[in-house]
Structure 1
Amino acid sequence: MANLKEVRNRISSVTSTQQITNAMKMVSAAKLKRATNAIVDLRPYATKLKEILSNLSASIEGNASPYLENRSPEKVLLVVITSNRGLAGAFNSSIIKATNLLISQKYAEQHRKGNVSILAIGKRGHDHFSKANYAMIGNHSELFSQLNFENTSAITELVMKGFVDGDYDRVEIVYNQFKNAAVQILSTEQLLPLEPTVREETETQTEVDYIFEPSKEKITEDLIPKSIKIQLYKAVLDSHASEHGARMTAMDKATENAGELLKALKLSYNQARQAAITTELTEIVSGAAALSEG
């Protein structure tokens, strides 16, 4: 039977842990609300922008924008979006595993030649791939301390410049897409070259006839870079909301597990105390019987 003092110490330790995990769950719940509002507000704009590009895609020539240039992917850049902190279940490990799987299955030849670079947004991803000796494009972990469109656009412009200059032939994003607090969808999207959206023909679909002002070329020139920036910004917001959802769920589960462990420890404590009392009573009775016989 466990020592009473040892069980009391474990009960005290588990109780403290339970209080911490419960507090972290509530903090993540508050942050999740703000992060969810941000991604929900952006999605209609991103959807409309994608719709406009879809209507324009049929008339955009392949050389109308340098971001549409489809080259053989000899040099690849992967934008890996993780978090700066842990305690979020499998949130970070799933992204790292998906990135490694993507490299081994799709870009194994480029990796052997040392032509796979990593741009990590988030400390966890940056630390992992730095230790794995990948070519790292800066350290962008500070983005989450001031997460806004301007700061994300600065990173996107760096990526776009690298693509236009020929430093990378293809850029892909690996991130967690937010569905709800308990569900994050592991996603991989091609950022560059921009793929023209293929619209599905339906019976009810109507052709949209746009009036271009000042010109189609000028609008295309402005719209495509903005679409690329919005795509990366949306991925970062999705990942940010997913992080808080995953952490809230993980801390909720940890709080429940601590409660179950406390029940077991208290039962063990009561059993140990009862056994100690029984032993003491037995010793007293035995001693009294010995004295009366004497």
Structure 2
Amino acid sequence: MPSLKDIKLKINGIKKTQQITKAMNMVAAAKLRGAQENMENFRPYAEKFAAVIGDLGGSVNPNSFPLMAIRPVKKVLAIVVTADRGLCGAFNANIINAAEKFAKAQAEEGKEVKFACIGKKGFHYLRKSAFEVVAHAIDCMAYIQMQDAKRIGKVAIDMFLEEQVDQVQLLYGRFINVVTQKPTFKRLLPISKEGLGGEEAEDNGPKPTYIYEPEPERILNNLMPMYVNVQIMAAMLETAASEQAARMTAMDNATRACEDMLHTLTLSFNKARQAAITKELMDIVGGAEALKG
């Protein structure tokens, strides 16, 4: 049985750990409010942007636009968005595992897969994998800026236009609610009406007819690169909110685990102390009996 001193040291250590996890839970909860607000404010804009592109794309000849060119898929670029920091449960691991499964499935079909990483965790892991990382943006998830999305978006657009890749996929952690964050794929390039709207599209009756000025062709030339940047930005905001929610849940679970460990160790401490007291009493009684004899 461990000594009283050893058990006491463990109890003190777990109490300090519990204080840290409680503090991290509170910080994550505070950050989640801001991150969720930013995500919810930007999400309707990104969805409406996709809807406009889809409406415009349905009225033009896709062969006239390089970013809508559909080619046999032999090379794929996957943009993977993860967090810069850990201590958020299995959140980063789930996204990385989804990226690896996707890459291996594509490789089995004879396709070449490359990665572009946003977030330190994904970059540090995937750069050691068998797949090439062609671009990365790290230390950018705490304060998300459009310029970081534009930098990765430009890499994806240039590689697609130069036919270095035939398809671009975006993988990120979609925020469902505080306890659920889902790794989600979205096809960025080539842009097609079928690929826009996705799960957010709903059938609410007759659709409005828009009149565009100038003509749709000129508008699309300007909006398509913006669409790629906006979708990457939206994915970064979704991942940032998901990260804080996952961290809040993980720290809450860690605090509860500390409470259970403290309960178990306190029982062990009390048993060890009782055993020590009983032994001392037996020694005293034994000594007294010896003196009487």
Shorter-chain TM band: over 0.9
Q: For residue 144 of structure 1, what is the amino acid of its counterpart? A: M
Residue 165 of structure 1 is matched in structure 2 by 162
Residue 256 of structure 1 is matched in structure 2 by 256
Structure 2 vs 1, CA of residues 107 and 60 (structure 1 numbering), >3 Å: closer, same or farther? farther
Residue 228 of structure 2 is matched in structure 1 by 228
Q: For residue 158 of structure 2, what is the amino acid of its counterpart? A: K
CA contact (8 A) 1:117 1:137 kept: yes
Structure 2 vs 1, CA of residues 251 and 201 (structure 1 numbering), >3 Å: closer, same or farther? closer
Distance in 1 between the 2:117 and 2:238 partners? 15
1:87 Cα deviation after fit: 1.1
Distance in 1 between the 2:211 and 2:21 partners? 56
Residue 45 of structure 1 is matched in structure 2 by 45
Q: For residue 148 of structure 1, what is the amino acid of its counterpart? A: Q
Is 1:196 the counterpart of 2:188 in the alignment?
Answer: no
Distance in 2 between the 1:209 and 1:109 partners? 41
CA contact (8 A) 1:110 1:116 kept: no
1:201 Cα deviation after fit: 9.7
Distance in 2 between the 1:123 and 1:209 partners? 44
1:225 Cα deviation after fit: 2.0
Q: After TM superposition, what 4+ stretches of structure 1 lie above 6 angstroms from structure 2? A: 198-201
Residue 138 of structure 1 is matched in structure 2 by 135
SS at match of 2:28: helix
Residue 208 of structure 1 is matched in structure 2 by 208
Distance in 1 between the 2:54 and 2:63 partners? 17
Q: For residue 217 of structure 2, what is the amino acid of its counterpart? A: E
CA contact (8 A) 2:86 2:92 kept: yes
Distance in 2 between the 1:154 and 1:142 partners? 14
CA contact (8 A) 1:170 1:192 kept: yes
CA contact (8 A) 1:78 1:171 kept: yes
Structural RMSD (CA): 1.8
| 1:116-127 correspondence to structure 2 within 5 Å | 116-127=113-124
Q: How many residues align?
A: 289
Q: Which piece of structure 1 moves more, 84-93 or 246-255?
A: 84-93
Q: For residue 244 of structure 1, what is the amino acid of its counterpart? A: Q
Is 1:86 the counterpart of 2:86 in the alignment?
Answer: yes
1:106 Cα deviation after fit: 3.2
Distance in 1 between the 2:187 and 2:257 partners? 40
CA contact (8 A) 2:8 2:269 kept: yes
1:134 Cα deviation after fit: 2.1
1:139 Cα deviation after fit: 2.9
Uncovered stretches (5+) of structure 1, i.e. residues with no partner: none
CA contact (8 A) 1:194 1:228 kept: no
Uncovered stretches (5+) of structure 2, i.e. residues with no partner: none
1:281 Cα deviation after fit: 0.6
Residue 147 of structure 2 is matched in structure 1 by 150
Residue 271 of structure 1 is matched in structure 2 by 271
Distance in 1 between the 2:60 and 2:147 partners? 28
Distance in 2 between the 1:250 and 1:84 partners? 16
1:144-186 CA-partner distances (Å, limit 9, x unpaired): 2441223212221221111111111111111110112211012
SS at match of 1:175: strand
Distance in 1 between the 2:52 and 2:94 partners? 33
1:90 Cα deviation after fit: 0.7
Is 1:176 the counterpart of 2:182 in the alignment?
Answer: no
1:193-226 CA-partner distances (Å, limit 9, x unpaired): 1121378896x63242222212221112122222
Distance in 1 between the 2:279 and 2:268 partners? 16
Distance in 2 between the 1:127 and 1:150 partners? 22
Q: Which piece of structure 1 moves more, 128-137 or 171-180?
A: 128-137
